[in-house]
Amino acid sequence: MTALQILLLLNAIWYAMGFYAFYVRRNVFGKVLVPNREHRSNSAYEALVESGRFMGGFNFALSALNVMLLFNIGGFESGGQWATLLVFNALAHGSQFAGNIPMALENRRGKGLWNVFKGVMLRIFVIDFVLMVANAAFALALFT
């Protein structure tokens, strides 16, 4: 298995896990984002939980894209074509990582709605960062 195939597989697995967490287990996702039970008895919390279907749907599509690419390695003629797709993955992971930075800064001041540096959120924060860097680095190598 080549480095490109491993990276595509890791992307597919991570996005599939996002689908499972946000779509299938959206109630758990809601509890992670709103850890205080007292704040869960309102329609805004219910809307947050149901919004997991949208995030899960995007993650499902991204997982499927990476699986299709994994089985179509020979379908692209240039490194630049692969690099374009890897930049897309880097941006997808990067947007997730960057979205947690303001909350992480709040956490450092003892505030924030959820804790980025603990449990599931820490795993998400770190893995999105690692996959963002890996995709970007591989893309950069292909562009040069």
Where are the domains positioned within the chain?
Answer: 3-143
pTM: 0.87
**pLDDT per residue as tens digits for the range 101-133:** 999 999 999 998 889 999 989 999 999 999 999
Closest CA to 113 of 129, 100, 95, 96: 100
Using a 10 angstrom Cβ sphere, with 0-12 exposed, 13-18 middle and 19 or more buried, the burial of residue 40 is: middle
For 70-90, write each residue's pLDDT tens digit. 998 888 888 889 999 999 999
